[in-house]
């Protein structure tokens, strides 16, 4: 029986681990799998977990070219909410929020989900009208959302500056109390460990170099840096690089890739107990369990695979944060980064089978991917297992770009996904 030191047990309890203390097996690549998932981030691991748990498909390989959770899963601002405007979006994201609620218990791993409330500020008359439209639409869909006047915003978030003589005066805000945050790397580790326990193979440092199709055009194998794997079903969940992977199967995607910027401060004692967002300013802020202020900025204006963005975007965001929260003006920033986001023409995701038999794709989340992780994995696993979309992701197929049934969430959520 293996034993652990007190330090090892603490690391496991709070999500930390060392390379000599793996949370899941390090299996060799088998010659054939029922399903291959390309991408070992939150969505890919969640898909593998639900394939095993809900559909009994355990002969699954998750192939990750780097390390588990080392892509966009580890480069986001951890915000969770479901206050989207359109019926289709509200259903998808609220499905995810409901799964977030007991995800730690389901995975037997503390993902540090904290329903601390997400408040979206209004600075103009248009902001107020848009926010109230969201609130009414959300309530019709059974999604909680409420309007706060400036004084109520201040009561919910005492650090907020609601004075009239600032560049972005607060005219009110929309509050979703079920919204919150979770620890992004813990989500990846939790899904990885749970999927591994059911027999899923998680292969790190295994880059896919080609997707092979047979004489009928169907999927037959995947070539990797660790060898060739036979499979009849492939799910592509490679955030930021979907177009590159899909091109290996001669499939073109309606996507553009942009770096989305974020940064964190030096850690301080707990002081900020909620999440505050502003679409107009393109800034949002929360405090992590490690004490860092997590600050989100906007996307660069140019398509790029760079994991760093333009300095002026970060500068603008910090100027706004310092004005809205004067108490943070002397904080030092610890690091900043850019996650690569795939963006569709209607700013809504794609969860779909493709014209290639056996090829499925999950992409185009823009800046909304992390919050959707459990819901996305759940419905994508259903799509792969059955060959048909779940009722929740049925509106998010590739066919909508042919038929014109778009779900235009661009104005609904702006940058502050």
Q: What is the mean pLDDT of residues 50-79?
A: 94
Kindly report, residue by residue over 148-173, the tens digit of the pLDDT.
999 999 999 999 999 999 988 999 99
Which tokens go with 152?
A: 């109520």
Q: What sign results for the dihedral spanned by CA atoms 307, 305, 402, 208?
A: negative
Closest CA to 293 of 312, 324, 310, 269: 269
Say if CB 43 and CB 189 are below 8 A apart.
no
Q: Tell me whether domains 25-75+184-254+346-413 and 115-178+256-343 share a fold.
A: no
Q: What is the mean pLDDT of residues 253-277?
A: 92
Per CATH, which fold does 25-75+184-254+346-413 belong to? Answer: FAD/NAD(P)-binding domain (3.50.50)
Kindly report, residue by residue over 289-314, the tens digit of the pLDDT.
889 999 988 777 777 766 666 667 78
- Residues ≥6 apart with Cβ < 8 Å to 199: 52, 58, 59, 60
Is it the case that residue 197 has pLDDT exceeding 80?
A: yes
Predicted confidence band of residue 339 (pLDDT cuts 50, 70, 90): confident
What does CATH list as the number for 115-178+256-343?
3.30.9.10
Residue-level pLDDT at 306: 66
Predicted confidence band of residue 24 (pLDDT cuts 50, 70, 90): confident
Distance CA 126, CA 383 (A): 39
Distance CA 176, CA 35 (A): 37
For 20, counting Cβ atoms within 10 Å of its Cβ (0-12 exposed, 13-18 middle, 19+ buried), the class is exposed
Distance CA 310, CA 326 (A): 24
Total H helices, total E strands in the chain: 12, 19
Q: Any idea of the CA torsion for 42, 45, 47, 51, to the nearest 10 degrees? A: -160
Distance CA 12, CA 2 (A): 14
Is it the case that residue 20 has pLDDT exceeding 70?
A: no
Q: Where are the domains of the chain?
A: 25-75+184-254+346-413, 115-178+256-343
Kindly report, residue by residue over 200-214, the tens digit of the pLDDT.
999 999 999 999 999
Predicted confidence band of residue 18 (pLDDT cuts 50, 70, 90): very low
Q: Does 393 or 415 have the greater pLDDT score?
A: 393
């Amino acid at each position: 029986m293996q034993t652990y030191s007190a330090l090892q047990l603490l690391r496991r309890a709070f999500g930390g681990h060392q390379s000599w203390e793996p949370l899941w097996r390090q299996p060799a690549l088998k010659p054939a799998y029922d399903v291959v998932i390309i991408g070992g981030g939150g969505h890919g691991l969640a898909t593998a977990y639900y394939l095993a748990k809900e559909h009994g498909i355990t002969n699954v390989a998750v192939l990750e070219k780097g390390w588990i959770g080392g892509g966009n899963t580890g480069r986001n601002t951890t915000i969770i909410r479901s206050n989207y405007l359109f019926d289709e979006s509200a259903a998808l994201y609220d499905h995810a929020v409901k799964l977030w609620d007991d995800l730690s218990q389901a995975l037997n791993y503390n993902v540090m989900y904290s329903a601390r409330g997400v408040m979206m500020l209004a600075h103009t008359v248009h902001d107020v009208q848009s926010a109230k439209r969201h609130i009414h639409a959300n309530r019709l869909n059974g999604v909680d959302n409420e309007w706060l006047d400036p004084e109520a915003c201040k009561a919910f978030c005492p650090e907020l500056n609601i004075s009239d003589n600032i560049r972005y005066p607060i005219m009110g805000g929309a509050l979703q109390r079920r919204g919150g945050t979770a620890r992004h790397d813990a989500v990846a580790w939790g899904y990885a460990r749970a999927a591994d326990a059911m027999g899923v193979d998680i292969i790190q440092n295994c880059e896919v170099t080609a997707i092979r199709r047979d004489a009928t055009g169907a999927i037959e194998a995947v070539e990797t840096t660790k060898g060739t794997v036979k499979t009849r079903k492939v799910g592509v969940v490679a955030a930021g690089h979907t177009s590159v992977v899909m091109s290996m199967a001669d499939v073109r995607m309606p996507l553009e890739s942009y770096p989305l910027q974020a940064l964190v401060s030096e850690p301080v004692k707990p002081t900020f107990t909620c999440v505050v967002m502003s679409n107009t300013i393109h800034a949002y802020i929360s405090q992590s369990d490690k004490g860092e202020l997590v600050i989100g900025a906007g996307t660069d204006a140019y398509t790029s695979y760079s994991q760093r963005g333009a300095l002026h975007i970060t500068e603008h965001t910090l100027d706004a944060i310092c004005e809205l929260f004067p108490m943070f003006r002397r904080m030092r920033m610890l690091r900043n980064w850019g996650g690569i986001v795939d963006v569709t023409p209607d700013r809504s995701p794609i969860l779909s089978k493709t014209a290639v038999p056996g090829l499925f794709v999950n992409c185009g989340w823009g800046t909304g991917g992390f919050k959707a992780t459990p819901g996305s994995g759940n419905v994508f696993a259903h799509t792969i297992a059955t060959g048909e979309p779940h009722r929740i992701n049925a509106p998010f197929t590739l066919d909508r770009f042919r038929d014109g049934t778009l779900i235009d969430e661009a104005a609904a959520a702006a940058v502050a996904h």
